[in-house]
Amino acid sequence: MAQDRAVVADEGLRQPVADAFKRLHEMLVAVIDAAVSRGQLPPGVDPDRLASTMVAVVQGGYVLAMAQQDRAPYDAACQGALELLRAVTGETDPAPAEGRSASF
């Protein structure tokens, strides 16, 4: 919806979308901050920046999937986001993604 010019031009439509992204970002920041505090992510990780990156990667995958009417770009973006997290943590054994489904 955020890429739809009619939605962006109408404050009544745009604001709920912006609010939803803000809430998502805030939740991710909290989870990432907690992971840093528990030592699951390195202390140098910026929770705000990493949350922004994760949202952008996944939403970009969603937009590509919608444009292509194929879920492969979305799946690839989600897996890429997980690979970024594994790279940051040094984890090398990816857990299988099971039961995840979306329709396009």
Q: Domain with 15 in it: what CATH number?
A: 1.10.357.10
Q: What is the mean pLDDT of the chain?
A: 86
User: For the chain, what percent of residues have pLDDT higher than 70?
Assistant: 82
Q: How many separate domains does the chain show?
A: 1
Residue 48 lies in a domain: yes
The whole-model pTM stands at 0.76
Residue 101 lies in a domain: no
Cα distance between residue 86 and residue 2, in whole Å: 29
Distances (CA, A) of 79 to 11, 49, 73, 89: 33, 19, 10, 15
**Which tens digit of pLDDT belongs to each residue from 49-66?**
999 999 999 999 999 999
State which amino acid sits at residue 59: Q
7, pLDDT greater than 80: no
Residue 18 lies in a domain: yes
Residue 50 lies in a domain: yes
HSE value, Cβ hemisphere, 13 Å, CA-based, for 24: 15
104, pLDDT greater than 60: no
**Which tens digit of pLDDT belongs to each residue from 13-46?**
888 888 999 999 999 999 999 999 999 999 999 9
Those residues with Cβ within 8 angstroms of residue 91's Cβ, 6 or more apart along the chain or in another chain: 85
Length of the chain: 104
